[in-house]
Amino acid sequence: MITLQYIPHYEIKNLDTESKIKKILKHVKDDRIILIDCKLAPLEEGLLIERTMEEVDRKFKGIEIASIIPDKKNMQFLDIFKRDLAKILLGKDDGVTIIGPASIIKEIKKNPNKIELLTKIRR
Amino acid sequence: MIKGIKKFLDRNIFGLFKRKKQIKLGLYGPPNSGKTSLANRICQDWLGEEMGTVSKIPHETRNIVTKEKVVVKSKGKEIMFNLVDTPGIATKIDYEDFLKFKMSDKEARSRAKEATKGVIESIKWLDNMDCVLVVLDSTVNPYSQVNITIIGNLAARDIPVMIVANKSDLKKSDIKQIESAFPQYPVIGISAEKGHGIEEFYNKLYKLVK
């Protein structure tokens, strides 16, 4: 069984970077695939990789991660306006991030607007 | 914050007095993209010696390797670099992957451990770079989170970047895909192993750092 854990942005937006990463890694090390409805900042992603590498051992092999942000080029003016308004009112960043344990996720194939998640079959 | 102010002053104010000092040029990218092959090509061209060992087994470079005073000449002008070859950045390292290359269990575990430390070292060294070449394998889909994270981290630190689309000699090479994945950065297609596109590479490198 694969568990998909949803983390709304408000649950992590007020956390400092270390706490945010700690929370993410805790879920992932519990063999859950998490879906966060915002994109991590590049510096947070860099630190997430560092902390992940510190945790790698016989059982935990690391993570697979992918984030996706909507392509502005294909959006209508009204959509961009609505999106920016939601950003101001809700303080929510664009995009989603998927993070899971490398022991479960074999590969994440990513194109600009699509994420394909290939899992490993356990026997 | 203080670090940021110091960096700003270094780059913009004190930097004016330190022009022509050696530029720290980092080679970053995922494992097996050809960072060390490119470092070797540069060192062979300008110093007549190699910089590191190359292997088909991922994570061959597991420590930061530097080569100082590499003088690159382009169109009659010269620039002195401190070349920094870094371990490939990855989000996962599984020792079992190394067993496929006929390594013993002990060797594989040790390599995996060293590789994790190498990744951490690479990320920490980002702060020391003046300029970075992101080396990507042009036969592989460039939309990986590792590539995006590396480039995002460089942009956040305001470090000049050029993307080197390596392995351009291979049939599956797709430089256009890399260009469309990272349209805001200069991309140069080369084959570090065969030397294809290397003259143009040095010209673009000169433009990047001048």
pLDDT tier for residue B84 given thresholds of 50, 70 and 90: very high
Residues near B170 by beta carbon (within 8 Å), at least 6 away in sequence: B138, B139, B191
Contact indicator for B189, B173 with CB cutoff of 8 Å:
yes
* A53: closest chain B residue by CA: B116
* B145: closest chain A residue by CA: A66
Q: Cα Rg for chain B, rounded, in angstroms?
A: 17
B156 touches chain A (CB under 8 A): yes
* B108: closest chain A residue by CA: A58
pLDDT of residue B16: 43
Chain A residues touching residue B105 (CB < 8 angstroms):
none
Q: What separation in angstroms does the CA of A1 have from each of A33, A36, A108, A123, B81?
A: 11, 20, 19, 12, 53
Contact call for B145 and A65, based on CB within 8 A: yes
For the stretch B136-194, pLDDT in tens is 999 999 999 999 999 999 999 999 999 999 999 999 999 999 999 999 999 999 999 99
Chain B residues touching residue A63 (CB < 8 angstroms):
91-92
A56 touches chain B (CB under 8 A): yes
pLDDT of residue B22: 84
- Closest Cα to residue B25, out of B88, B79, B90, B61? B79
* B92: closest chain A residue by CA: A62
Spatial distance between the Cα atoms of A106 and A76, rounded to a whole number of angstroms: 36
For the stretch B95-132, pLDDT in tens is 999 999 999 999 999 999 999 999 999 999 999 999 99
A114 touches chain B (CB under 8 A): no
B101 touches chain A (CB under 8 A): no
For the stretch A91-103, pLDDT in tens is 666 788 999 999 9
Average pLDDT, chain B: 90
Distance from CA of B109 to the nearest CA of A (A): 9
Distance from CA of B129 to the nearest CA of A (A): 16
End-to-end CA separation in angstroms for chain B: 28
For the stretch B123-152, pLDDT in tens is 999 999 999 999 999 999 999 999 999 999
Q: Write out the two tokens for A119.
A: 């899992």
